[in-house]
């Protein structure tokens, strides 16, 4: 559940404060990849944020009370907010009148998908998005700094930067299928490496890191939709490098940096 604070995204549409409980209002342009805060960058098992108006009548984030056994919620208790993707209910992480965070079901495959938000029986528009095989994006503390921790778990920040040669942990969304595969509505109970790990790469200032330095890349046990990359930084790593991850030319967005001295 602690993945919620990692969703460092900003609302771009005004909430409806009139008290009118109208149908939800949103568009293709107001749907974003939660980690990167960019539109049109989606895959199965990826966090997505819908911005708009009339998205909920209350504000609530996921809590242990919403989890039934090992099953993650498709409706947060007392909110009445559901998001259907190709008619499959998505797991909901957070709702408010102008923002809903959700996880695209891992059972979906690449291709067009229809997103529709429903609150207390009032349906918003059916929006078509494109799902890719992966949509790699690093979570961010702010608009340009990625979320990462030292190997012993304190966060990496400007005041506590990474050091060349140390093992760090990066946190990401949308890295694609794992082995074993993600189970719908459940968090992974143990390590699950990326299925296509041989094609996965990390780049510092555009230069691929030796793949042998990627000690693990896959699901974060206990957190649905959250991926981690355990990386031993090169001894000659440049200071404050741009860092990108992904496959081939499908990489996480540029101009995201790792504090490193």
Q: Check: CB of residue 168 under 8 Å from CB of residue 231.
A: yes
pTM: 0.90
Q: What are phi and psi of 40, to 5 degrees?
A: 60, 40
CA distance 225 to 106: 8
pLDDT digit string, tens, across residues 199-241: 999 999 999 999 999 999 999 999 999 999 999 999 999 999 9
- Domain limits, CATH 2.60.40.10, in the chain: 4-132
pLDDT digit string, tens, across residues 234-250: 999 999 999 999 999 99
- The CATH classification number of 4-132 equals 2.60.40.10
Q: How many residues does the chain have?
A: 261
The mean pLDDT value for 87-106 works out to 98
pLDDT digit string, tens, across residues 30-77: 999 999 999 999 999 999 999 999 999 999 999 999 999 889 999 999
CA distance 155 to 62: 23
CA distance 182 to 241: 32
Domain 137-251 has CATH 2.60.40: yes
3-state secondary structure of 102: strand
């Amino acid at each position: 559940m602690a993945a919620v604070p990692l969703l460092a995204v900003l609302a771009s549409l005004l909430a409806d404060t009139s008290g009118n409980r109208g149908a939800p209002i949103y568009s293709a342009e107001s749907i974003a990849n939660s980690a990167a805060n960019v539109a049109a960058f989606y895959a199965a098992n990826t966090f997505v944020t819908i911005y708009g108006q009339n998205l909920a009548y209350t504000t609530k984030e996921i809590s242990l009370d919403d989890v039934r056994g090992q099953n993650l919620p498709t409706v947060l208790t007392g909110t009445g907010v559901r998001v259907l993707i190709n008619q499959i209910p998505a797991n909901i992480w957070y709702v408010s009148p102008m923002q809903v965070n959700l996880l695209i079901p891992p059972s979906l495959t690449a291709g067009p998908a229809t997103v529709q938000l429903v609150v207390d029986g009032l349906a918003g528009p059916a929006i078509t998005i494109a799902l890719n095989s992966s949509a790699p994006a690093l979570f961010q503390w702010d608009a340009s700094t990625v979320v990462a921790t030292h190997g012993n778990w304190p966060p990496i920040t400007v005041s506590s930067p990474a050091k060349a040669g140390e093992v760090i942990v990066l946190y990401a969304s949308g890295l694609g299928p794992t082995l074993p595969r993600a189970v719908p509505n459940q968090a992974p109970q143990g390590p699950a490496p990326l299925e296509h790990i041989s094609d996965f790469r990390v780049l510092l200032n555009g230069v691929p890191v030796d793949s042998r330095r990627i000690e693990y890349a896959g699901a974060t046990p206990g957190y649905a939709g959250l991926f981690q990359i355990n990386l031993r930084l090169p001894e000659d790593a440049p200071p404050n490098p741009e860092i990108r991850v992904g496959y081939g030319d499908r990489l996480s967005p540029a101009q995201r940096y790792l504090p490193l001295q």
